C-alpha cells in the first residue's frame, strides 16, 4: 500500500531588513492555508540549514506553515554591522523578527525558539502579545547559570580546533569567526552576567510550552521551570529524560508529538 505523504512547498527568499538582507525559508503544506504559522528562531551557532529536516517534519506533523530565517550575521543573511550588542536577545523582536513579519505580511503567529532563540521567542511573544497565538521554547536559557557558563567554556576549548571552525564556516561562510564571538564573547562577558528573562516573562499572555532536556549541558531544568512560573498565560513545562541541548535532533519524534499535541487547540 502506498502511503499518502502531504505535499510540501518550500520557498526561499531574501529581503532587505533595513540593516541588511535576511534569508528566509518557508515550508508550506496544502492544509496550512488558514492555520497560524510557526516562526522558528535558531540558536547561537544556528541557521536555517542547521535546523536540517526538522522544519519540514514540523510542518507536516502540525499541518502549518513553518518559517525559519537566518538572523543578521548568520547563515545566508548579510554580515552584522559591528559587534553584537549585549541586549541582542531583546533586540531581535524589533529587528529581524519584526522585519520578517512585515515582509511576509504575518498577522497571528506561533513563536518557536531553540536555546538563545527561545529567549528571543519570549521577547517576540511579549512584544507582539496581541498577535502571538502560542509560544514554544526548547532548551531556552532564562538567566545566566553556572552550568551555562561551564558549557560555553567547554565549547570555547573545542573551537580551538580549526576543523571545528571550518565546519561552522560551511554554514556561515566568512562570518564564522563573528558568529563564534557573538556567542562566546557575549555570554562570557561580565557585563552580560545579570541578564535574565524575568522582567519580560510576565508580559507573555499566550499558552506556553517549555521543553528542556534533563541533561542539557547549557542549562538545568531551572530554566523551563522559571519560564513556566513567570509567564502570565497557561504554561506546560516538559523536561525530557536522557536528553541534552538539542531535543529536536536527539528525539525528533518525541518533540514533534509534544508540539503537535500542544498546538492541537490553537487555530
- Which positions ≥6 away from 248 have C-beta within 8 Å? 51, 54, 114, 138, 255
User: Cα–Cα distance between 71 and 21 in angstroms, integer?
Assistant: 10
Q: How far apart are CA 165 and CA 23, in angstroms?
A: 22
Architecture of domain 8-263: 3-Layer(aba) Sandwich (3.40)
Q: For residue 23, give the nearest of 65, 75, 95 by alpha carbon.
A: 75
Q: Which of these, 99, 95, 77, 76, lies nearest to 87 by C-alpha position? A: 95
Question: Model-level pTM?
Answer: 0.96
The residues pairing with 69 across neighbouring beta strands, listed in sequence order, are 24
d(CA 141, CA 223): 6
Give the closest residue to 123 by CA, choosing from 91, 79, 153: 91
Look up residue 67 and give its DSSP letter. E
- Domain residue limits, the chain: 8-263
Location of C-alpha cell 565546519: 167
- Is residue 168 within 8 Å of 179, Cβ to Cβ? yes
DSSP 19: S
Please report, for residues 113, 118, 167, 183, 259, the alpha-carbon distance to residue 194 in angstroms, rounded to integers and kept in the order given.
Answer: 21, 18, 32, 16, 31
Supply angle C-alpha 236, 238, 243, rounded to 5: 160
Model pLDDT, residue 1: 40
Q: Which of 112, 188, 115, 121 is nearest to 149 (CA)?
A: 188
pLDDT tens per residue across all 267 residues of the chain: 445 567 899 999 999 999 999 999 999 987 656 799 999 999 999 999 999 999 999 999 999 999 999 999 999 999 999 999 999 999 999 999 999 999 999 999 999 999 999 999 999 999 999 999 999 999 999 999 999 999 999 999 999 999 999 999 999 999 999 999 999 999 999 999 999 999 999 999 999 999 999 999 999 999 999 999 999 999 999 999 999 999 999 999 999 999 999 999 999
Residue among 115, 18, 102 at smallest CA distance from 67 = 102
Neighbours of 143 (CB within 10 A): 16
Alpha helices (H) in the chain, listed in sequence order: 54-62, 88-91, 96-104, 116-127, 146-158, 162-172, 176-180, 186-187, 222-230, 247-250, 252-263
Amino acid at each position: 500500500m502506498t502511503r499518502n505523504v502531504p505535499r510540501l512547498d518550500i520557498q526561499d527568499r531574501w529581503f532587505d531588513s533595513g540593516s541588511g538582507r535576511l534569508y528566509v525559508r518557508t515550508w508550506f503544506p496544502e492544509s496550512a492555508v488558514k492555520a497560524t504559522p510557526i516562526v522558528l528562531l535558531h540558536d547561537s551557532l544556528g541557521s536555517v540549514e542547521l535546523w536540517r529536516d526538522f522544519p519540514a517534519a514540523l510542518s507536516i506533523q502540525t499541518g502549518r506553515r513553518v518559517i525559519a530565517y537566518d538572523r543578521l550575521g548568520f547563515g545566508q543573511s548579510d554580515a552584522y554591522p559591528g559587534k553584537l550588542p549585549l541586549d541582542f536577545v531583546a533586540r531581535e523582536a524589533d529587528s529581524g523578527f519584526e522585519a520578517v513579519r512585515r515582509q511576509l505580511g504575518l498577522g497571528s503567529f506561533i513563536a518557536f525558539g531553540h536555546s538563545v532563540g527561545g529567549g528571543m521567542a519570549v521577547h517576540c511573544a511579549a512584544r507582539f502579545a496581541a498577535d502571538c497565538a502560542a509560544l514554544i521554547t526548547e532548551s531556552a536559557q532564562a538567566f545566566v547559570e553556572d552550568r551555562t557558563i561551564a558549557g560555553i567554556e567547554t565549547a570555547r576549548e573545542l573551537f580551538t580546533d580549526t576543523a571545528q571552525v571550518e565546519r561552522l564556516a560551511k554554514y556561515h561562510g566568512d562570518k564564522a569567526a563573528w558568529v563564534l564571538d557573538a556567542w562566546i564573547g557575549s555570554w562570557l562577558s561580565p557585563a552580560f552576567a545579570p541578564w535574565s528573562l524575568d522582567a519580560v516573562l510576565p508580559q507573555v499572555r499566550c499558552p506556553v510550552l517549555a521543553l528542556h532536556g534533563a541533561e542539557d549541558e547549557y542549562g538545568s531544568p531551572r530554566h523551563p521551570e522559571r519560564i513556566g512560573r513567570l509567564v502570565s498565560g497557561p504554561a506546560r513545562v516538559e523536561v525530557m529524560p536522557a536528553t541534552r541541548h538539542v531535543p529536536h535532533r536527539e528525539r525528533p519524534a518525541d518533540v514533534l508529538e509534544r508540539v503537535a499535541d500542544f498546538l492541537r487547540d490553537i487555530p
